[in-house]
Amino acid sequence: MKSKILESAIWIILAAAAGCSGTYSPKPPEEVSFLDRAETQSRGGLTVTVAVLSREESEEVFGVNLAANGVQPVWLDIENNTGKPYFFMPIALDPDYFSPNEVAFMSHFKFNRKANREMDEQFSKYGIQIEFIMPGERDKGFVYTTLDPGLKFVNVTLYEIDGTENFFFYFEVPGIQPDYQNVDFTTLYAKDELVQIDDEAGLRKALEALPCCTTGSDGGGGGEPINVVLIGDPDDISSAVVRRKWDVTEADTGKFKFDLGRAFSQESYRTFPMASLYLFGRRQDVSLQKSRHETAAAYRQRNTLRLWLTPIRYRGKTVWAGAVSRDIGSDLRIRKYWFAAQEIDPDIDETRDYLTEDIILSQNVDKLGYVIGVEESTSEDPRYNLSKLPWWSDGYRAVLLFGKDQRTLGDLEYFDWEDADDIYDGGTGGTGASDEGAQGK
């Protein structure tokens, strides 16, 4: 008798843990607030409306925690008022998208067949149909994409026999607090502090005159180099980095301390907070990162990009100074800033070049150039960051000018400054470096 009672108790515990004791209670999409954030674009008789669900919203609509399985529903509403049929291509939105039945199966309860059947119906009912949208017709529903926390780029591609139409969106997804939300960009500089530049010679001189490196909070110590400069309207820059799957970084708050264990879990923590470096007397304004998503403790292997808004304006566009480096692991030694200190790739130019090539592939970059930023250093005679880790560099900083229109690699233009071929070959540059720009910074 005791063994039977024990067996029954075990089954009750297992069933409760698997969700058997609860009911499956999803909500219709129109009752969930994500539709309030939907964005719409219209062109040539086609109208596309898109919304991206947060973790909480997707759980409301589908009754299960999809984010735990790395799934993020994207809502589409496509209306065809042209005279031609268009085919929706979800693979252009996400090459790794999930089918409705696949997501449902991943989310099934262990011991609740009735709820699982309802779940199958819910995912299939609201999944958008992958078929031709005929003239005068409208199709709407979800594509089950891979999870992107913080920011998400959405490309809706509609195919027609004579060509394709692409509609590009990017969204801030609720659920985290990016560190840039703590910055009031409108008050960083007074109007009389802004430096207006209209010519390339003046721009080069101003960029070479930027500080060479980051510092500690007290302005002392030598940090990592300012090795990239991004120029453009903030929306154009944001669109490019989101398209290339760079993630925002969460602010270092009490929530971060509570969630520290997530960095060591199997679920990659792609928005893990980033240590503070300083330029112009303040912490970085924006922190971006690109981690190796498939690994546990993803924050230990990631490319990190810290950006500061400068007072420079080039032909009306904002100019951002950036420090990019690659975290390659943690040595777990106690240092000044972190218990688990981040080891960086000491060949810091490799990460600068990675960023340059990666962002160019967004096709949002109009022009590329290089200027001198810091004195050259080598592996035999390196410099050191605030954590006393070595790094070396050829001394150049990459300069990327962003535009609104898509531009292929063949259309990319170049600033007539340093020679990119010579830089990649380890040379001194085709036009010569400014001694003034490399000294005394």
The verdict on 162 and 30 lying in the same domain is yes
Domain total of the chain: 2
DSSP 49-83: EEEE--HHHHHHHHSS-SGGGTEEEEEEEEEE-SS
pLDDT by residue (tens digit) across 165-191?
999 998 988 888 899 999 999 999 999
Q: How far apart are CA 380 and CA 347, in angstroms?
A: 12
Is 295 in contact with 301 (CB distance < 8 Å)? yes
Mean pLDDT score across all residues of the chain: 85
Q: Would residue 13 count as lying in a domain?
A: no
The verdict on 160 and 287 lying in the same domain is no
Q: Which residue, 172, 199, 234, sits at the end of a domain?
A: 172
Q: What percent of the chain has pLDDT over 90?
A: 64
pLDDT by residue (tens digit) across 420-429?
666 666 544 4
The verdict on 226 and 348 lying in the same domain is yes
The DSSP secondary-structure symbol of 281 reads T
The pLDDT assigned to 435 comes to: 42
Q: Would residue 298 count as lying in a domain?
A: yes
Q: Which residue, 172, 201, 232, sits at the end of a domain?
A: 172
Residue 341: pLDDT band with limits 50, 70, 90? low
- Residues facing 304 on adjacent strands: 289, 325
Closest-CA residue to 400 (of 236, 212, 188): 236
Q: Do strands 86-88 and 132-133 pair parallel, antiparallel, or not at all (unpaired)?
A: antiparallel
Q: Is the pLDDT of residue 138 over 50?
A: yes
Q: Which residue, 120, 146, 172, sits at the end of a domain?
A: 172
The pLDDT assigned to 431 comes to: 38
Q: Is the pLDDT of residue 18 over 50?
A: no
The verdict on 184 and 164 lying in the same domain is no
AA letter at 129: Q
The verdict on 167 and 183 lying in the same domain is no
Is 344 in contact with 385 (CB distance < 8 Å)? yes
Domain encompassing residue 101: 22-172
The verdict on 127 and 213 lying in the same domain is no
The verdict on 387 and 408 lying in the same domain is yes
| pTM, 2 dp | 0.81
Is 139 in contact with 132 (CB distance < 8 Å)? no
Q: Is the pLDDT of residue 352 over 90?
A: yes
pLDDT by residue (tens digit) across 71-108?
999 999 999 999 999 999 999 999 999 999 999 999 99
pLDDT by residue (tens digit) across 193-250?
999 999 999 999 999 999 999 999 988 877 899 999 999 999 999 999 999 989 988 8
The pLDDT assigned to 330 comes to: 65
Is 304 in contact with 327 (CB distance < 8 Å)? yes
Domain CATH number, residue 62: 2.60.40
The verdict on 88 and 224 lying in the same domain is no
Q: How far apart are CA 241 and CA 369, in angstroms?
A: 18
Closest-CA residue to 39 (of 235, 175, 177, 234): 235
Q: Is the pLDDT of residue 10 over 70?
A: no
